[in-house]
Amino acid sequence: MVEESVSSSASEAAPYRVVVVGGGFGGLQAVRKLRGAAVDITLVDRQNFHLFQPLVYQVATGALASAEVAAPLRSVLRRQENARVVLAEVGGFDLEGRQIVLDHLPNGQREQRLDYDTLVVGGGSRYSYFGHDDWRAYAPELKSLSGALDIRNRILSAFEAAEVEWDDERQRSWLTFVVVGGGPTGVEMAGQIAELARDSLRLDFRWVDTRNARVLLVETADRILTGFPPSLSRKAERALEQLGVTVLVGHTVVDVGPVSVSIRSGSGQIEDVPARTAVWAAGVAASPLAAELASAGGSSVDRAGRLTVTADLTLPNHPEVFAIGDMVRVVKSDGTDMTLPGLAPVAMQEGRYVARVIRNRLRGRTTGPFEYVDKGNLATIGRSKAVADVKGIRVSGFAAWVTWLVVHLFYLIGFQNRLLVVTRWTFSFLTRGRGARLIAASRAEDTE
């Protein structure tokens, strides 16, 4: 049993058991801020690394290698003696018995139980295909490392296919890229594909002119970057167009297949765009752990699948169960919603808050409700352009891009990763090159 092999020996040193599910932005902060506390922490994650999602799109376009945006959880917590890591998928919760159910353990075991005194769940979110999960095969999501590597393979393979394609129409379809969703991820992705085609690959191909690539960014709303003020959305749109991206606001993707993407315009007309490569960056839904926890604790989820938690981030009637990050909706004591964006700083601040509550409880002290400090919003568009909205100060262009670089380097986990990323960025900036352009698998057979 896991509770025998994982918990009991550690509990001799620290009797109070805190189990944290998810080593993402929220969960990892909670663990790290409990360093030195008289608790025995078990961090459970189904992957053995913390993924820095804000830079995953750079892996998908060959600008960074996967190890540079991920940090092994064991190495992150190497010096934190009160924390241990268990690699497993959490499949369920028994809140009455104060146990979680672990599945897919690395030794092949399933349905093992792990005891806790306090539980913190930060399972994150995933992309929603709006009920069209069959589109996933043709438009992979940019959420996981495997998704990013899949996208990188597809993009690079599309250019390779275009190089050996003699039929003009088919070549055009290989050179057409559709990015679905005009949020920060879609904007960053579209900008990077355009730069890849215009700059990085231009001199590497002999037959095909990669500058002829078409990049379509499709957004249902009437502007991109709806989380930013309209003036910055307009600037971002102009910057994308300068890079050669066609921005289709007020348009909706209504079908995705192996060789085409159907796009409906605002007037209702549907166009089938021949395109072999699509990237999904639209519609976020909470981790299924939110629904599991809601049903175990008699709580509810909203339309995006987010679990309702109270102002101290606990499950109603379960003060020993915290849920944080993308998977939750926080409701204040007066019943109103806190409407927090699905951003890393929100999850991190929630993780830090939970650690503070746990420490205070151990000392017999109370803690006030969670309050979010909005430090601003950033999105990059290309090699030297970005938009930033920091406490009402709106910046765009090079200054915003430098801010974006500094902020991302600051929050990236691991000194080695920071050093590698800054070296790669400097090299790419000077040479317009991309070092991580390997195709790990061919896809031509999938699409014929």
Ligand X SMILES: Cc1cc2nc3c(=O)[nH]c(=O)nc-3n(C[C@H](O)[C@H](O)[C@H](O)COP(=O)(O)OP(=O)(O)OC[C@H]3O[C@@H](n4cnc5c(N)ncnc54)[C@H](O)[C@@H]3O)c2cc1C
Q: How far apart are CA 114 and CA 88, in angstroms?
A: 11
**Min CB(221)–ligand X separation in Å:** 18
Q: What's the one-letter identity of residue 372?
A: Y
**Min CB(365)–ligand X separation in Å:** 26
Instruction: Say which DSSP state 107 is in.
Output: T
First-to-final CA distance of the chain: 48
Interacting residues toward ligand X by CB under 6 A:
21-27, 44-47, 53-54, 56-57, 89-90, 122-124, 142-143, 184-185, 287, 289, 325-326, 342-345, 347
Q: What's the one-letter identity of residue 344?
A: A
**Measured from the CB atom, is 148 or 197 closer to ligand X?**
148
| Residue 36: exposure state from Cβ atoms within 10 A (0-12, 13-18, ≥19) | exposed
**Min CB(9)–ligand X separation in Å:** 22
**Measured from the CB atom, is 23 or 182 closer to ligand X?**
23
Per-residue b or e along 166-178, where b marks 16 or more CB atoms closer than 10 Å to that residue's CB: eeeeebbbbbbbb
Query: Which residue in the list 68, 141, 165, 188 is annotated as catalytic?
Result: 188
Contact 265, 61 (CB under 8 A): no
Residue 417 to residues 134, 207, 414, 427: CA-CA distances in angstroms? 36, 37, 5, 15
**Measured from the CB atom, is 264 or 352 closer to ligand X?**
352
**Measured from the CB atom, is 90 or 243 closer to ligand X?**
90
What tokens appear for 447 in the block?
Answer: 């699409």
* CA proximity to 282, closest of 158, 180, 390: 180
Residue number of the CB atom closest to ligand X: 24
**Measured from the CB atom, is 186 or 244 closer to ligand X?**
186
User: Is 188 assigned a catalytic role?
Assistant: yes
**Min CB(163)–ligand X separation in Å:** 28
**Min CB(55)–ligand X separation in Å:** 8
Q: How far apart are CA 206 and CA 159, in angstroms?
A: 11
Cβ atoms within 10 A of the Cβ of 261, count? 26
Active site residues: 188
